[in-house]
Amino acid sequence: MNCIQQMRPHQGQIETGAAFRRILEGSEIITQPKTHVQDPYSFRCIPQVHGATKDAIRHAASVLLTEINSVTDNPTIFPDEDLIISGGNFHGQPLALVYDYLAIALAELGNISERRVAQLIMGLRGLPEFLVANPGLNSGFMIPQYAAASMVSQNKMYCYSASSDSIVSSNGQEDHVSMGANAATKLFKIMDNLEHILAIELMNAAQGIDFRRPLRSSPYIEKFLSVYRKEVPFIREDIVMYKEIHKTVAFFETSPGGLLSYYFTIFAGKKEQSMNSDNKEEMFPIVDEQGNIVGAATRGECHDGSKKTSSGSAPPRIQQQR
């Protein structure tokens, strides 16, 4: 049911709620009797928080699309009209504002992610403290949470609005500037931190699911985790964690585990990495004719036609990078 999202119909919230229902369909874990009334905000409000970030990305994308197809020369020459007009299309205020807006939106995605990481290592809801079998002798996932918290705090610093600043130059002629370049460079730093924060959350979440065995999550998640575990194993005793964090970031960017890599590519503007076209386990989103994501399939399933949708039909098509 999506009645909660329909009562507050922000597009990003509706999309996120629908995505979670698809991802969790068929999970054994979610069917277990609940011993608590409500989950913490960082879990319960994912559609509202992630959805708001999606809406912010959508707005920023629309501004960028307009800007990249615009003329920003000064003066602007109109040869057909025999006109040379001195104007202000060079001013970067539209980009500066959306970069600052996007910085806040992405920083909040990292903020709520770190809160979920912290919840997972607190020894609550049947999980061991720090997500290790023997927490008395091992610090487990304590240090990665430190790293996530540090990057979240750094992102808050980068959220200071560059576009609210200006300084005079050129003997007063250039007396108001956008500071859009500063907004862009700090946004890039936030994106890099966010990628590492989300990597830490994936490490924690995968570890937590392994402690729920023999219960299984949804087929969608189990297929994804089976690919991820080929890169980053279950952590039994203390190891140097930064290596596993870097492996997870690389998994986002290049692994044929691919679906999360695909989403992050679209979501955060990262350059898509080429993947091994012969890997039959590489995963792709399936979309309908309207472009809505309706499921996932491996490369092998797409090629041999064995993957069926909920209606029993073959996959509509594979989502293409624009």
**Residue 311 scores a pLDDT above 60:** no
Whether omega before 214 lies within 30 degrees of 0, making that bond cis, reads: yes
Mean pLDDT for the stretch of residues 220-233: 93
Residue 20, CB half-sphere, CA atoms under 13 Å: how many? 17
**Residue 271 scores a pLDDT above 50:** no
Higher pLDDT, 102 or 292: 102
CB atoms inside a 10 Å sphere around CB 118: 15
**Residue 272 scores a pLDDT above 90:** no
Domain range summary for the chain, segments of one domain joined by +: 3-27+39-165+178-272
Per-residue confidence (pLDDT) for residue 304, from 0 to 100: 73
Contact 54, 12 (CB under 8 A): yes
Higher pLDDT, 260 or 79: 79
What is the phi/psi pair of residue 111, to 5°?
-60, -50
Task: Find the helix or strand (DSSP H, E) in which 47 lies.
Answer: helix 46-68
Higher pLDDT, 35 or 128: 128
The CATH number of the structural domain formed by 3-27+39-165+178-272 is 1.20.200.10
Cα 206 from Cα 210, distance rounded (Å)? 6
**% pLDDT > 70, the chain:** 81
Reading the block at residue 93, the tokens are 């205020």
Contact 110, 155 (CB under 8 A): yes
Lowest mean pLDDT, pick from 19-33, 125-139, 237-251, 299-313? 299-313
pLDDT tens, residue by residue, 109-144 = 999 999 999 999 998 988 999 999 887 788 999 999
Per-residue confidence (pLDDT) for residue 255, from 0 to 100: 59
List for the chain the helix, strand, coil content (%; round to 5).
50, 5, 40
Number of helices (H) and strands (E), helices first, in the chain?
A: 11, 5
User: Which of 211, 208, 189, 210 lies closest to 200 in space, CA to CA?
Assistant: 208
DSSP calls for 231-251 = TS----S---HHHHHHHHHHH
Sign of the dihedral through C-alpha 23, 29, 33, 36: negative
Burial class (CB in 10 A: 0-12, 13-18, 19+), 315: buried
Extended strands (E) in the chain? 76-78, 83-85, 283-287, 293-298, 317-318
Confidence of residue 227 (pLDDT cuts 50, 70, 90): very high
pLDDT tens, residue by residue, 85-101 = 999 999 999 999 999 99
Strands 83-85 and 293-298: unpaired
Q: How far is CA 85 from the centre of its chain?
A: 43
**CA dist 90 → 87, 185, 248, 262 (Å):** 8, 19, 40, 34
